[in-house]
Amino acid sequence: MGIEIACCLALDLVRQGLFAVTVDRNRGRWFELVWNKATERLCMRTPSKAQRSSF
């Protein structure tokens, strides 16, 4: 049972290290990328006011 705990601890430390190097370094950047992509797709789907008034 001790080896399993050691493996879990090691994997968790690796996970924390990767997270600190990638996501924490650019705080908010990932949210901005996802938000921009989602709004870009939404804007492409919904017609603008000018397009709606031409019907």
- Report how far residue 23's alpha carbon sits from residue 19's, in angstroms, rounded to the nearest whole number: 5
From first to last of the 55 residues of the chain, give the pLDDT tens digit: 789 999 999 999 999 999 888 777 777 887 888 899 988 877 776 665 655 565 5
- Report how far residue 14's alpha carbon sits from residue 24's, in angstroms, rounded to the nearest whole number: 14
pTM over 0.85: no
Alpha carbon separation from 54 to 38, 46, 47 (Å, rounded)? 26, 14, 11
- Report how far residue 18's alpha carbon sits from residue 10's, in angstroms, rounded to the nearest whole number: 12
Alpha carbon separation from 50 to 40, 42, 43, 44 (Å, rounded)? 18, 16, 13, 14
Q: How many residues make up the chain in this entry?
A: 55
